[in-house]
Amino acid sequence: MSYPTPATSVKLVLLGEAAVGKSSLVLRFVSNDFQENKEPTIGAAFLTQKCTIGERTIKYEIWDTAGQERFASLAPMYYRNAQAAIVVYDITKPASFIKARHWVKELHEQAAKDITIALVGNKYDLVQDDDEGQGEREGVRKVSVEEGQNLAAEEGLLFYETSAKTSYNVNDVFIGIGNKIPEAASLASSPEQNNNEGRIDLSTNASSNGNRNLCSC
Amino acid sequence: MATPISSTPTATSSFSKRERRQSMAERRPSTSYTPAVIPHLAGLETPQEMSPLKLEECDVVIIGTGLSQSILAAALAWQGTQVLHIDNNHYYGDSSSCLTIDQLKKWCVDVNQGKFNHFKDAQIYIPGGKRSNKYTSRDYGIDLTPKIMFCQSDLLSLLIQSRVYRYLEFQSLANFHVFENDDFKQKITNSTSKHDIFTDKTLSLITKRNLMKFLKFILIEEEHVRRALVKQYSNRPIHEFLTQEFKLEESQINELVYSIGLCNKQETTTKEAVIRIRRFLSSFDCYGKFPCMTSKFGGPGEISQGFCRSAAVAGTTYKLSTTMTDFDPVSKTAHFSDGSNIKVNEKIIISPTQIPKFLVPSYQKLTESLPSYYITRLITVVKRDCKEWMDPPQSASAAIVVFPPHSLPTDNESAVQVIIQNGDSGVCPEGQSIWYSHTCEQDLARAKRDLECAFEKMEMALLRGTPGTIPDVLDDIDLFSAGTTPMADSFKLGSSLANFMPKEKVEIVCKVGYVQQTYINPDLSNVFKANPNNSITCKKVPTGVDDEDMIIFGNMPSSELSYDGIITNVKQIYARVTGTDDDFFDVDFEDDDEEMQDHQQPQQPQVNQSGQVLGGIVGGGRMDEDAIDEDVIEDDSDDDHKPFGVDQMEL
């Protein structure tokens, strides 16, 4: 395999109320580009997916909440060095939208100031008309597009409505985030670039240092 | 689908109806939708914290998210145990937390109010208060129990095997300074190889030969020979061994025993010291020319968060700010401060700082007979990057300074050990450093004097090293001994402090002191040879029901500067819960191939050296041939430095 440029790593965290489809959204994004529909292995530290945008290849390291958000017990580690976040709500559940505001606030407090945040109203498939028309089913949607847009505008967020089920707009979210992340920022905090600054990457280090040192005593 | 949420508030939302007024959005009738103004969210900042646990039962409850409990939670969760992990505090880490300055201030108040069992005498000093001393509290991550990690150690192996390392960042630590004769000496730096330690150009030929002989003895000598010789001295002080067998001199002995071996006492036994010295030397060249690492953004506090996340991924439920208020051993029902009740099928494991009120009497009774040990700590955040202690200054972010026994004007009985970490390690802003010092001196007044004195010596050394005073001391550096570029405005190691009178003080952000108590012997003997008589984790806690053995009390962190002993202790508890530690973290991650691919760098496509990765970690240099099998020295079971699960470890 060859890549146009070395992939830059971007840590992306997911936030949102339980059952709004955070994991489904990521699974949709991660599995789409895979050759086969491989079930992600349980226990993966985080899911990774490469995303090529023009000349750049971004390698997303996607951190799921692993349920620790249920009782507001996310650790500082979760937010640390996150360059991007997706705050998800369910467009059929107003409470989840209220919760989304809470998570945006939390991100402003806990995460880096220059973090790129996307607000995502998920489950668009539920409001879509069955006969694939442009219209929406009456009364299912509980959070209007405008509400989402307004919050996004107020807080400086990207905004999308998606369906993890039909994959509507899912890739656009990640491409949108990738476009908004400054190239320099992603380079600076990419683990691959940092080896020479005293950081030890336990997964790759031995390949660069091991050779020389194995034979010495 | 279109049911108004207001009629079924608890079924779909995670906060229940009675806890707060319903929002406009929720009261909105579903049938006639109109875009509404989202209500102001004051008072809604943490809507989920109050929601009760909705579990009916679990296998194990763990109280406290300290490092040991977090590793235990992850190990149990991956083994298939349903774990509920709670903590009294609103943050992770318990006695091994990594706190911001504001959290630390509150912690000190709480300690002095007796809220944290086993901690006392907390003092915090912030010169000028927050107004003139402008700091941002959350820029700091101050470990309550700071530690360093040897490259050849069971915890590092476990971090790799469990993949928790992927949540963390590690930085090398190779700067070890020893204070002697009112002077700082540094023999080990990032550019030192294992051999260089013993081939310092300033040493006489004879000394060098003696040191080489000792190095060979430690690393190359056949096991039975080594064992036999150590056995002759087994419980005699290491000093005797090194002088009599290897004719080493005071300065080298200090280096070997207190810096390389990180021993606390002059009376440290030969057996213990040899294991400690070997630990250091066999940790060289695992990942490069450094024996130790620190984890970025915090030590045990950060690593425990990593294990908690791992446990959560494996299905553990987490709830902070929660305590267990009661437990009924007959129905096995635990009651929690949030009002919920949960049936506990197997065990309850409790941190010593979070013993529920109803269990305090039995905890006191069980610990009555155990000897306790005090650790006095002094942590100072200074407005200096302390690059003077780091080599090379561009990349090193941490250093160790050791004050051997009797090296300070206070004639300290115990060594004072100091970890310095600067802003590059993410624990404080750029240009600042945290000095973590501690001593095992049991006379607490004396311990505080020793720590203050060590602080003054370090402060003086820093001031002396500031530009302007350079010419006076430049003569003393051997510019070429380390083989690195001389650093003109760097620290002047090797020049005496005796005649230096500083005119200023090192500016500090905050200074914290406290005393911690533990039942773990500083030599870790009652961890490696734990039994119901010497270890709280082995004691059966009476519950009032016959033969019911449901409650296990955990240990406080030890005084040990490294992570040694922690995994051994966790495994003991693990075995008490599951019956055996054979399957401790015996997890087969199936995405190995994918992970390998991910880590291949596009620019070096030929890299596929899983074998060497494996060798680098497990081999630890030459572990296979050289490993002192600690069991063999005297048939003990000191397996502290045995790499964990060598044969299972794969990347």
Q: What are the pLDDT digits (tens) for B407-430? A: 999 999 999 999 999 999 999 999
Q: Is A63 left (phi over 0), alpha (psi -120 to 50) or beta?
A: beta
Asked whether residue A2 is domain-assigned, the answer is: no
For residues B218 and B276, give the distance between their C-alpha atoms in angstroms, rounded to a whole number.
11
| pLDDT greater than 90 at residue B342 | yes
- Say if residue B455's pLDDT is above 90: yes
Residue B307, Cβ density class (10 Å: 0-12 exposed, 13-18 middle, ≥19 buried): buried
Which amino acid, residue B164? Answer: V
Whether residues A203 and B599 touch (CB distance < 8 A) is answered with: yes
Report the pLDDT value the prediction gives residue A32, as an integer from 0 to 100.
Answer: 62
Asked if pLDDT for residue A15 goes beyond 90, the answer is: yes
Domain count of chain A?
A: 1
Query: What does the CA dihedral B365, B370, B375, B376 come to, rounded to 10 degrees?
Result: 50
- Is the CB of B159 less than 8 angstroms away from the CB of A68? no
- Chain B residues whose CB is inside 8 A of the A154 CB are none
**Rounded distance, CA B87 to CA A72, Å?**
12
Task: Let me know: does B609 contact B149? Beta carbons within 8 Å.
Answer: no
Q: What is the pLDDT of residue B182?
A: 75
A42 touches chain B (CB under 8 A): yes
Q: Which of B415, B384, B383 minimizes the C-alpha distance to B400?
A: B415
Per residue in B378-402, pLDDT tens? Answer: 999 999 999 988 888 888 899 999 9
Instruction: With beta carbons less than 8 A apart as the criterion, state whether B284 and B194 touch.
Output: yes
Interface confidence, given as ipTM, is 0.84
Q: Grade residue B132 by pLDDT with cuts at 50, 70 and 90.
A: confident
Q: Which pLDDT score is estimated for B607? A: 25
The conformation of residue B616, written as its DSSP 8-state character, comes to: I
Count of Cβ atoms closer than 10 Å to residue A56 Cβ:
18
State whether B287 and A92 contact (CB < 8 Å): no
CATH number at A94 reads 3.40.50.300
Mean predicted confidence (pLDDT) in A3-7: 62
The pLDDT value recorded for residue A200 is: 75
Interface test with A, best of B40, B599, B626 (most A CBs within 10 A): B599
Interatomic CA distance for residues A200 and A209, integer angstroms = 10
| Rounded Cα gap, residues B433 and B421, in angstroms | 5
Residues forming beta bridges with residue A161, ordered by sequence position: A121
Tell me which chain B residues have a C-beta less than 8 angstroms from the C-beta of A40. 591
B124: β partners: B512
Name, of A175-184, B2-11, B44-53, B192-201, the range with top average pLDDT: A175-184
Task: Measure the CA–CA gap between A178 and A58, rounded to whole angstroms.
Answer: 7
The dihedral through the CA atoms of B235, B241, B242, B243 has a sign that is: positive
Mutation to test the B interface, candidates A31, A65, A71, A99, most B Cβ within 10 Å: A71
By C-alpha distance, the chain B residue nearest A198 is B395
pLDDT score recorded for residue B187: 65
Q: How many CB pairs under 8 A join A and B?
A: 224
Three-state secondary structure readout of A24-36:
HHHHHHHHHCCCC
Q: Does A58 touch chain B (CB under 8 A)?
A: no
Q: Does A139 touch chain B (CB under 8 A)?
A: yes
Half-sphere exposure of B236 (CA within 13 A, CB side): 12
* pLDDT exceeds 60 at position A43: no
Using the predicted structure, report yes or no on whether residue B344 has a pLDDT greater than 90.
yes
Least trusted range by pLDDT, from B130-144, B295-309, B498-512: B498-512
Q: Is the pLDDT of residue B19 over 60?
A: no
Q: Would you say how long chain B is, in residues?
A: 651
Distance CA B23, CA B26 (A): 5
**Burial class, B345, CB count within 10 angstroms (exposed 0-12 / middle 13-18 / buried 19+):** middle
Residue B60 predicted with pLDDT over 80: yes
List the single residue in B with minimal CA-CA distance to A151.
B38
Quick check: A102 and B44 CB within 8 A? yes
CA dihedral for B261, B267, B270, B272, sign (positive or negative): negative
| Whether A139 and B622 lie within 8 Å, measured CB to CB | no
Interface test mutation site (partner B, options A14, A58, A73, max chain B beta carbons within 10 A): A73
Query: At B25, is the secondary structure helix, strand, or coil?
Result: helix
On chain A, the residues whose CB falls within 8 A of the CB of B296 are 199
User: What pLDDT score was predicted for residue B18?
Assistant: 40
pLDDT at A8: 84
Residue A214 and residue B619: Cβ atoms within 8 Å?
Answer: yes
The pTM score is 0.82
Partner-chain contact A73 B318, CB within 8 Å = yes
A143: nearest CA partner in chain B: B35
Asked if residue A42 is part of any domain, the answer here is yes
pLDDT bin (cut points 50, 70, 90) of residue B405 is: very high
Query: Judging by beta carbons within 10 Å of its beta carbon (0-12, 13-18, 19+), is residue B22 exposed, middle or buried?
Result: middle
Nearest CA-CA distance, residue B262 and chain A, Å: 22
Report yes or no on A143 lying in a domain: yes
What chain B holds in terms of domains, given with CATH numbers, is: 1-27 (no CATH), 58-98+152-165+298-370+534-587 (3.50.50.60), 166-296+373-515 (1.10.405.10), 602-648 (no CATH)
Do A217 and B194 lie within an 8 Å CB cutoff?
yes
Higher pLDDT, B110 or B45: B110
Residue A122 lies in a domain: yes
Q: Report yes or no: B27 and B20 within 8 Å, Cβ to Cβ.
A: no
Nearest-by-Cβ selection for A18 from B14, B25, B397? B14
Provide mean pLDDT across the span A97-120: 93
Nearest to B551 by CA among B310, B332, B284: B332
Within 13 Å, how many C-alpha atoms sit on residue B88's CB side?
A: 21
What are the structure tokens assigned to B227, written together?
Answer: 């064992």
Mean pLDDT in residue range B147-168: 93
Number of helices and strands (H, E) in chain A? 9, 7
Structure tokens at A197: 């600054």
Averaged pLDDT, B482-506: 48
Range of the domain at A78: 8-214
pLDDT of B376 above 60 = yes
Give the rounded percent of residues in chain A with a pLDDT score beyond 70.
74
pLDDT tens column, B554-582: 999 999 999 999 999 999 999 999 999 99
Instruction: Note whether B601 contacts A206, CB cutoff 8 Å.
Output: no
The predicted pLDDT at position B447 comes to 97
Identify whether A125 is part of a domain: yes
To the nearest whole Å, the CA of A21 is away from the closest chain B CA by 14
Q: Nearest-CA neighbor of B174 among B292, B21, B91? A: B292
Q: Find the mean pLDDT for residues B299-325.
A: 94
Q: From CA B318, how far away is CA B62, in angstroms rounded?
A: 10
- Whether A43 sits inside 8 A of B314 (CB atoms) is yes
| pLDDT-derived band at B487, boundaries 50, 70, 90 | very low
> Is A207 part of a structural domain of the chain?
yes
* Per-residue model confidence (pLDDT) at position B208: 84
Stretch B31-57: mean pLDDT: 49
Q: How far is B546 from chain A (nearest CA, A)?
A: 36
Closest-CA distance of chain A to residue B600, Å: 8
Residues 160-189 of A with CB under 8 A from B: none
Which residues of B are less than 8 Å from A200 in CB distance? 170-172, 287-288, 293
Cβ contacts (< 8 Å) between B136 and chain A: which residues?
A: none
Q: Does A2 touch chain B (CB under 8 A)?
A: yes
pLDDT computed for residue B234 by the predictor:
86
pLDDT higher than 60, residue B209: yes
Question: Would you say residue B470 has pLDDT above 50?
Answer: no
- In this predicted structure, the answer to whether residue B485 has a pLDDT above a threshold of 80 is no
Per DSSP, which regions of chain A are E strands? 8-16, 47-53, 56-63, 84-90, 116-122, 158-161, 199-200
CA–chain centroid gap for B532, Å, is 25
Chain B nearest-CA residue for A5: B602
Q: Across the interface, do A102 and B47 touch by the CB < 8 Å criterion?
A: yes
Q: Which residues of A touch B85 (CB under 8 A)?
A: none
What crossing angle do the helices spanning B223-233 and B205-219 adopt, rounded to 10°? 110
**Residue A164 to chain B, least CA–CA distance (Å):** 18
Question: Which chain B residues have a beta carbon less than 8 Å from that of A42?
Answer: 313-314
CB–CB contact B621 A216 (8 Å)? yes
Please give the Cα distance from B84 to B69 (Å, whole number). 11
pLDDT (0 to 100) of residue A44: 59
Q: Does any domain span residue A98? A: yes
pLDDT band at A206 (very low <50, low <70, confident <90, very high): very low
Spell out which residues of chain A touch residue B17, defining contact as CB-CB under 8 Å: none
Mean pLDDT in residue range B266-291: 90
Reported residue count of chain A is: 217
The H or E element that residue B86 is part of is strand B83-86
Distance from the A85 Cα atom to the nearest Cα atom in chain B, whole angstroms: 17
Domain assignment present for A22: yes
- What is the distance between the alpha carbons of residues A106 and A103, in angstroms, rounded to a whole number? 5
Q: What is the pLDDT of residues A113-167, one digit of tens each?
A: 899 999 999 999 998 876 666 678 878 899 999 999 999 999 999 999 999 888 8
Is the CB of B169 less than 8 angstroms away from the CB of A191? yes
